[in-house]
Copies of this chain bind each other. A is one copy, B any other.
Amino acid sequence: MATSSVESRLTALADLVVAAAKKKRDPEIVIPVRALSNVAFNEKRRIIEMKDATQARTFFNLGMAKKFMQTLLVADALAELQRTDCTTSLREIYYRTKHTLRDSTENTFDAQDESDPILEDLEVTLGALREELHVAAEGRGSVVGNIVLVDDGDTIDCTRAGKSGHTVASIVEEPDIRIRRCGADFILLVEKATQFNRLSEDKFWKRHNCILITGNGQPPRGVRRLCRRIHDEWKKPLYVLVDNDPWGYYIYSVVKQGSINLAFESQRMAIPDAKFIGLSSFDPEKHKLPRNVGIKLNDKDIARAKELMAYPWFQKKEWQKEIKRMLANGLKFELDALANKDFRYLTTHYLPKKLKDRDWLD
């Protein structure tokens, strides 16, 4: 989507107010509803997506006037970002649009939790990703391996980016970031920095011709978008390596089909073909991990695991078995627990065996 197009969509919001004013009508913005009621799992596309419900936001309505004003203020700031080709954060959007209304003590915004949802409203209304609106999310990642990126004119060969790798920006969209070449066979998305460090230090990406990428925890948007782009543009399979706990399953599921909260992004972020390469609840036994390196599931873990089992996207027989097994084990296992075998066990045994046996879940 070209920048000019986003800018024109933003300007169109202002035009709509001008047009209404000229006709002495109440200006109205039609906004898709961002609520659980308007979200569904699309079985065919295998992503969580928004349904069609919308709501009107009008100005001549005591309950909506402030939000209407806020919507236009944020749209104005976003238009400024487009015009000046500048990227910012949610927090700065809040500061930029905050002021005290003339001859009053009323602020346009009192806290960031007022401006954040307005931005999400504008994302769905304009059909533009936050990244296209030039607003960066928090969180950065790192990448090493067989891929060459062009970032702001600089060519970055990730086979020569040291052990620590190139930083994955919060925004990895064209035209700023291009993928010039990708000779890898697959992408390995690693939840935690410890395992990324281990695999990078051991040059796992070289022996197995892949791309290693981490988001240091739940992958931030930039990491997800980069994986999606490599997957789409270069047709590379993606494997997700997470801890064996409900949070690990959740991280995988968000990468794969998107999240309920941000369902409108799934079509640009989700990777329905992503595979789960572990830790599986069956791995501790396969790899003879002692029970004392497992961590007892607490009540929250158990409740969360049961919740996950009920989601439409975890209905496959293998997934039900996987989650039931965790509950039966009564334990969760961190990837770090593989160090109990040997510091390099992940590199030399666990992953090679997984890949050889094609031992993953879909």
| A residues lining the B interface (CB < 8 Å) | 80-81, 84, 86-89, 91-93, 95-96, 98-100, 107, 136, 138, 140, 142, 149, 151-152, 154-156, 160-170, 176-177, 193-194, 197-198, 201, 216, 290, 292-293, 334, 336-340, 343-344
Contact at A162–B170, with CB atoms within 8 Å?
no
Is the CB–CB distance between B95 and A339 below 8 Å? Answer: yes
Contact of A95 with B176 in the complex, beta carbons under 8 Å:
no
Closest to A105 in B: B292
22 CB < 8 A contacts A-B: A84-B343, A84-B344, A86-B201, A88-B343, A92-B194, A92-B336, A92-B339, A95-B340, A96-B340, A98-B340, A99-B340, A138-B193, A140-B142, A140-B164, A140-B216, A142-B167, A151-B163, A161-B166, A161-B167, A162-B166, A162-B167, A162-B177
> Which listed residue, B93, B151, B162, B336, touches A89 by the CB 8 Å rule?
B336
Q: Assembly of this chain: how many copies?
A: 2
Q: A151-B164, A292-B107 are in contact. Are A197 and B216 (CB under 8 A)?
A: no
> Are B170 and A160 in contact, CB atoms less than 8 angstroms apart?
no
Shortest distance from the beta carbon of A290 to any chain B beta carbon, whole Å: 7
Pick from B86, B156, B338: contact of A161, CB below 8 A.
B156
A151 CB contacts on chain B under 8 angstroms: 161-164
The answer to whether residues A197 and B344 also contact, given A167-B164, A292-B107, A334-B91 and a CB cut-off of 8 A, is no
- CB-CB under 8 A from A170, the residues of chain B are 164, 193, 197
Whether the Cβ atoms of A198 and B88 lie closer than 8 Å is yes
Least Cβ–Cβ distance between A289 and chain B, in angstroms = 9
Interface of chain A, helix or strand or loop or mixed?
mixed
Q: Which of A151, A155, A177, A334 has the most CB of B within 10 A?
A: A151
- Contact between chains at A168 and B164 (CB < 8 Å): yes
The verdict on A292 contacting B343 (CB below 8 Å), with A140-B164, A162-B156, A162-B169 known, is: no
- Which residue of B is nearest A340, CB measured? B95
Residue of B nearest to A157 (CB): B154
Could you tell me the distance in whole angstroms from the C-beta of A221 to the nearest C-beta in chain B? Answer: 13
Which chain B positions have C-beta within 8 A of A89? 194, 197, 336
In contact, A95 and B164 (Cβ under 8 angstroms): no
Q: Which residue of B lies closest to A295 (CB)?
A: B111
Residue among B96, B166, B337 making CB contact with A166, cutoff 8 Å: B166
Q: A142 to B340: give the CA distance in the assembly, Å.
A: 31
* 6 tightest A-B CB contacts, nearest first: A151-B162, A164-B169, A92-B339, A164-B167, A154-B160, A142-B167
* Chain B residues whose C-beta falls within 8 Å of the C-beta of A177 in the assembled complex: 162
In whole Å, how far is A351's beta carbon from the nearest beta carbon of chain B? 16
When distances are taken between beta carbons in the complex, the residues of chain B under 8 Å from A194 are 88-89, 91-92, 136
